[in-house]
Structure 1
Amino acid sequence: MHIHIENDANGPDALQLPVELLRQRLETHPQLRSHFTLTENSDATHSATFLANADILWAGRKLALDQFAAPRLSWVQVMSAGVEQWLPHLPQGVTLTNASGVHGDKGAEFILMAALMFNFGIPGFLQDQAQRLWRPSFGGCARGKTVLLLGVGGIGSAAARLLTAQGYRVVGVTRSGECSAPVERCISIDAIDEVLPQVDVLVSTLPLTAQTRRLLDRRRLDLLPKRAGIVIVGRADVFDYNAMREKLNAGELAGAVLDVYPQEPLPTDDPLWHTPGVVMTPHCSLDDHAAYLEGCLEVFIDNLVRFRSGRALRNQVDVARGY
């Protein structure tokens, strides 16, 4: 059986999977030794040749697979958690697994940091600093404040643990209204309107699907109290960014910590750069390049063992749901 690695020549060196590293891992694993042949490619012009003979694909970059003849391909392991750009081009019968959970530890710390920033009024203080304004504000501790956590997958579950330990009251939101994350309660997406007016911090780790696109539209943003802060580390198009920006300009939200944007890089003339209360990071809050490749490789090796034994794969994407 043949595994092909597609690396991204334009990506960081730390995210390239060398074929020798994978070969070493396979040869030292008793259940995988001598069962696979390997190739690697980082030149997009040569992908078709390699994919023609691949049974399994490690994808370090996005590929429109329906543009290639890959008659043997049965499974694709991608290095991202989001898969919305893969699904429209996924050939029928090909299994897709993602890197869900690899971002968990760093993502959870970022979310906790952002929540505490709102608790201590940091977005407002940063705005005052830029204008040389001295406006003390004396608040309390985070304990007892409400975080509405949109999505409790790998990142959301890890964030729920840290937030709960800090004393926040965490309400999780899932498609079904059920989850195993350490939250006070879990509700379905359809029930969020009743909770939004109680929220101190709204956090989104959601993937982009037909159900989540513009989930937080102007009507729902209007349900949030003025004290609420927004943290977005999932997909940007879950929110109406224009409506959010207008509410921030009007002083109707406490602020927003944003790591993702409708267009990236964010254009230099985008008004979001100058929106009061916004703290921006350039889509880097979740990734730890020192550990990310190793985390993805751990998922892949585990899945190769499962694949050989005919067991269900870890992080298998439900094509109908989109995640």
Structure 2
Amino acid sequence: MMDTMTLENPIVAIAVPLESEHVDSLRAANPTVSFLYEAELLPPERFPADHTGDPAFVRTAEQEERYWAMLKSADILYGLPNENPAGLARIARENPRLQWIHAMAAGAGGAVKAAGLDTETLQRLKVTTSAGVHSLPLAEFAVMGILNGFKRTAELAQDQAGKVWPELRTPTRLVNGSHVVVTGLGEIGMETARLARALGMKVSGTKRTVEQLEGIERVTDTDGLPELLAGADAVVNTLPGTPYTEKMFNRELFAAMKPGTVFVNVGRGTVVDEDALLEALENGRVSYACLDVFAVEPLPAESPLWNHPRVMVSPHTSALSAAENRLIAERFADNLALFLAGEPMPHVVDPVHFY
């Protein structure tokens, strides 16, 4: 059971942009819950699932006061205030009745850490993430990266741009029968494994708690990763950014890979030492890298990753889909039922490790 106060008439405030149709669905499904929603206080979305909203949006002084008054009257928030750590820090300080915030991001632990909340607040205030909502689009992106590397799409694009028809044809590699290692066999990792197996790949991977998983050839912890990498044809990272994963993919791990490995990162950019990755691309350990996340975002213009002929740079958009807002609202509704019943919710941010 969760250690929360009993809420007879809970109040939920919508703190981030959300279509009114989804708010209406939440209200209809939860008639005992009051939902505070004022669309004019929220920045308009520029694209589907634009949780931050248009940066040009500015509230008037009166609207700003109303926005914060609404949030301070709530027991539960849908979204971080202004979708940033500063907003989280402020509402945690100014609303002692607040019990739970559902964050839009799958990796909201970084924002919680950046808010600098004290230990007492971290114990009082539950923050859940939207992990799992993004599993399928991230897994599809990861498989695309593997296929790109095996089928030489980067070279094909260069030849097409130069109108080059090579005299000697270069064979591609079969995905079927190859071996992919997934670091982080959580929801994203397991969905990636499912799609990879559908292509005929063998899948191994890492998990903090080592256990046999259906369809996975071998599961190890991080200590066993170098041995897994030695037999991998492709590697997909799904791990979050924590002090324990900082630059985990370093020179030693890339050196453990066999030549020609395809590397995909849909986790967090801080997990990869980008200088070590560039060296691995040059020495052939990595034949192709498909990257959706980077140590610094936006990726600095001077980064050599932008122009590397065997690197795909994606601007941290692989998780986005037109259905995202609906899926997050549905996840929130499921969590709300658990919360009100005093049951544990999935994907609560760890107040120590922040993932």
Scaled by the length of structure 1, the TM-score of the pair is 0.88
Q: 2 CA distance for matches of 1:97 and 1:181?
A: 27
Amino acid at match of 2:18: L
Count of aligned pairs? 311
Is residue 197–residue 203 contact of structure 2 (8 Å, CA) maintained in 1? yes
- How big is each residue's C-alpha offset from its partner over 1:145-190, in whole Å with a ceiling of 9 and x where there is no partner? 1111011222211111010121111112111223646322211112
Residue 67 (structure 1) aligned with residue 94 (structure 2): no
What residue in structure 2 maps to residue 85 of structure 1? 111
Please give the secondary structure, in 2, of the residue aligned with 1:274: coil
Q: Does 1:112 align with 2:137?
A: no
Code of the aligned partner of 1:85: A
- Give the aligned residue type for 1:73: L
Deviations for 1:6-29, whole angstroms, at most 9, x for unmatched residues? 12xxxxxxxx2146642x224422
**Residues 26 and 329 of structure 2 are in contact (CA less than 8 Å); yes or no, is this contact kept in structure 1?**
no
Q: Determine which of 272, 277, 284 is the counterpart of 2:317.
A: 284
Corresponding letter in the other structure for 2:337:
V
| Correspondence for 1:2 | 11
User: How big is the shift at 1:144?
Assistant: 2.0
Kindly report which structure 2 residues correspond to 1:1-323, keeping only aligned pairs within 5 A, or say none.
1-7=10-16, 16-18=17-19, 21-22=22-23, 24-29=24-29, 32-40=30-38, 41-42=41-42, 45-46=64-65, 47-59=67-79, 61-64=83-86, 65-68=88-91, 69-83=94-108, 84-89=110-115, 90=117, 91-92=121-122, 93-127=124-158, 129=160, 132=164, 134=166, 136-178=169-211, 180=213, 182-288=215-321, 290-323=322-355
> 2:5: which partner in 1?
none
Return the offset for 1:112: 1.4
Percent identical residues: 32
Structure 1 window deviating more from structure 2 (49-58 vs 216-225): it is: 49-58
Contact 1:209 1:321 in 2 (8 A): yes
Distance 1:181 1:17, change over 3 A: farther
Please, what is the CA RMSD of the aligned residues?
2.2
Contact 1:19/1:38 (8 A) holds in 2: no
Name the CA distance, whole Å, in 1 between partners of 2:159 and 2:75: 57
Gaps of 5+ in 2: 1-9, 43-57
Question: Tell me, what secondary structure is at the counterpart of 1:86?
Answer: helix
Offset of 1:2 from its aligned partner?
Answer: 1.5
SS at match of 2:18: coil
Further displaced range: 272-281 or 137-146: 137-146
Which string of whole-angstrom CA distances, capped at 9 and with x for unpartnered residues, describes residues 218-268 of structure 1? 111111122101101110010001111122134442110111122222233
- Which amino acid in 2 is paired with 1:141? L
1:52 shift after superposition: 2.1
State how far apart, in whole Å, the 1-side matches of 2:103 and 2:212 are.
25
Question: Any gaps of 5 or more consecutive residues in structure 1?
Answer: 8-15
In the alignment, the residues of structure 1 paired with residue 305 and residue 287 of structure 2 have an alpha-carbon distance, to the nearest angstrom, of: 15
- Give secondary structure in 2 for the equivalent of 1:271: coil
Could you tell me whether the CA contact under 8 Å between 2:260 and 2:284 is conserved in 1?
Answer: no
Return the alpha-carbon distance in structure 2 between the equivalents of residues 179 and 17 of structure 1.
40
Deviation at 1:269, TM superposition (A): 2.7
TM-score between both structures, scaled by the size of structure 2: 0.81
SS at match of 2:286: coil
Maintained 8 Å contact 2:204/2:217: yes
CA contact (8 A) 1:4 1:54 kept: yes
